[in-house]
Amino acid sequence: MSKMMDDIENQRDYRRIGKALEHLAETWGDDRPSLSDLANQCGMSEFHFQRVFQRWVGLSPKKFLSVVSLEQAKQALDDQSDLLNASFDAGLSGPGRLHDLFVTYEAMTPGEYKRAAKGLDIRWGWHDGPFGKTLLLATDRGLCGLAFLDARGEAECFRDMAERWPEASLREDPVFTQDYMDRIFAEPESIQQDRGIRLFLKGTEFQVKVWEALMRIQPGNYTTYGSLAERIGMPSRAARAVGTAVGANPISWLIPCHRVIRNSGMLGGYRWGLPRKIAMMGFERSGQGLRLDVAG
């Protein structure tokens, strides 16, 4: 009975912190909200809110706000342009250490997929993760999908991801995908190169180019859609096309589309919700651990 009560309390705290993140997303371009504002959004006293926030997010509300704000995002874009260029210039040939994990990838064009699809076996499973309920899809050739639970529910989120592989055989196997989950969210120092993360991508040549560029952005760094276009040899006015490819990213977090913001420092969109994007930005900028359920 005690464990059941603890689980209920934990879920309630998850939802409360999610409300605080939703408020941050809604007021991103305004003055930074106060501790009192955030506590009121969650229906909690300031003292209780600060204690719960610190427990789940890993740092105080004040510290979190100092690393995720419009002013901070603008400054990061200015300060990190040289770092971003250096990370692009380093290239991505062979196994590379990307965002503190060993990540490599294999890409398949839609034509190649059509020829090989019927022999493709995809296993999937839902898991608890630091950014809420997490859906993984994987083949023997690598991870091919990473999504998060949102307001549509598990069945609809799964259908959305499964439709990307219409000819493949999909079967539920959370034991198989748990190994990926353990490595994706492990402490960086515990990842060995021979146990790194291999991605198996299906996309057009342009999409894969954009996704590869995203993987060159280091943790805590931001870029814009226009800058991303220029880095793959296109004019900055191609930002809209790049944004569409970013939105089609099949493997969230590992292909870090959450690191793309607008020139103004505003958040832009995020397939799995702006509160979750803010959680990811705070995770990387603070160097702290987050455990947040922002599924809505």
Active site residues: 257
Instruction: Please state whether beta strands 121-129 and 169-172 pair in parallel, antiparallel, or not at all (unpaired).
Output: parallel
Number of CB atoms found within 10 A of residue 228's CB = 27
SS (H, E, C) 145-188: EEEECCCCCHHHHHHHHHCCCCCCEEEECHHHHHHHHHHHCCCH
Q: Which two tokens stand for residue 109?
A: 């064009």
Encode 149-171: b = buried (16+ Cβ within 10 Å), e = exposed: bbeeeeeebbeebbebbeebebe
How far does CA 164 lie from the centroid of its chain? 19
DSSP category for residue 198: E
